[in-house]
Amino acid sequence: MKRIALVGDSNADVVAHQAIPQALKIACESLNVELDATWLHTTAVLSTDLSAYDGIWCVPASPYASMAGALAAIRYARENKLPFLGTCGGYQHAALEFAQHVLGHLTAANAEVDADAAMPLISPLLCRLIDTADTIDLRAGSQVAGLYGQLNIEEQYHCGFGVNQHYLPLFDDSDFQFVGFDQEGDPRVFELSYHPFFIGTAYQPERAALKGENHALIAAFVGAIHSQ
Instruction: Please check whether residue 165 is in contact with residue 187, taking contact to mean a CB–CB distance below 8 angstroms.
Output: yes
Bond into 60 cis (ω within 30):
no
What is the pLDDT at residue 115?
Answer: 86
Share the mean pLDDT of the chain: 94
What is the pLDDT at residue 92?
Answer: 95
Confidence band of 124 (pLDDT split at 50, 70, 90): confident
What is the pLDDT at residue 129?
Answer: 52
Instruction: Please check whether residue 22 is in contact with residue 13, taking contact to mean a CB–CB distance below 8 angstroms.
Output: no
In this predicted structure, the answer to whether residue 130 has a pLDDT above a threshold of 60 is: no
Residues facing 155 on adjacent strands: 134
Confidence band of 132 (pLDDT split at 50, 70, 90): low
d(CA 96, CA 29): 34
In this predicted structure, the answer to whether residue 30 has a pLDDT above a threshold of 80 is: yes
Instruction: Please check whether residue 81 is in contact with residue 107, taking contact to mean a CB–CB distance below 8 angstroms.
Output: no
Confidence band of 156 (pLDDT split at 50, 70, 90): confident
Residue-wise pLDDT tens digits, 89-114 = 999 999 999 999 999 999 999 988 88
Look at the alpha carbons of 137, 139, 143, 145 in this order and tell me if their dihedral is positive or negative. Answer: positive
In this predicted structure, the answer to whether residue 36 has a pLDDT above a threshold of 90 is: yes
pTM, 2 dp: 0.95
What is the pLDDT at residue 162?
Answer: 85
Which whole number is the average pLDDT over 7-24? 96
What is the pLDDT at residue 71?
Answer: 98
Phi, psi of 136 (to 5 degrees): -135, 140
The residue among 81, 67, 69 whose CA lies nearest residue 40 is 69
In this predicted structure, the answer to whether residue 126 has a pLDDT above a threshold of 80 is: no
Chain-centroid distance, C-alpha 94: 7
What is the pLDDT at residue 33?
Answer: 98
Residue-wise pLDDT tens digits, 55-98 = 999 999 999 999 999 999 999 999 999 999 999 999 999 999 99
